[in-house]
Amino acid sequence: MKHIFKIIAVLSAISAVWVALLETSTVPRSYTWLLPIYLVVALGCYGLFMVGYGLMFFPTCPREAILLQQDIVEAKEFLSKRGVDVGSD
């Protein structure tokens, strides 16, 4: 529930800044109306960057790979005892 409050707070702050920019003449009005679109594009770029970064530096987990292989062997043995054909090794 705390996460939703953080999101609401950030959205409220962004909305307040946007309304303040609309009310003042700091930024031309035609540019100010495009700020939400720029925000969505920026968030999309950030998301793509984080996915790409995560894929480039994906950690390998050799210990978990060994445990997974052991679980697969145990599952095959269990299913073989139950009469299920699990294929050849």
Q: pLDDT digits over 43-74, tens only?
A: 889 889 989 988 888 777 888 889 999 999 99
If asked whether residues 76 and 55 sit together in one domain, one would say: yes
Q: What local confidence, expressed as pLDDT, does residue 75 receive?
A: 93
If asked whether residues 14 and 43 sit together in one domain, one would say: no
Domain that holds residue 45: 34-82
Tokens 């996460």 label which residue? 3
Does residue 87 lie in a domain region?
Answer: no
pLDDT band at 88 (very low <50, low <70, confident <90, very high): low
Q: What local confidence, expressed as pLDDT, does residue 67 receive?
A: 92
Q: Answer yes or no: is pLDDT of 89 > 70.
A: no
Does this model's pTM top 0.75? no
If asked whether residues 5 and 42 sit together in one domain, one would say: no
The CB density around residue 53, as the number of other CB atoms within 10 Å, is 10
Number of domains, the chain: 2
How far apart are alpha carbons 32 and 21 in whole angstroms?
A: 7
* Contact (Cβ atoms closer than 8 angstroms) between residue 45 and residue 34: no
Q: Provide the 3-class DSSP secondary structure of residue 41.
A: helix
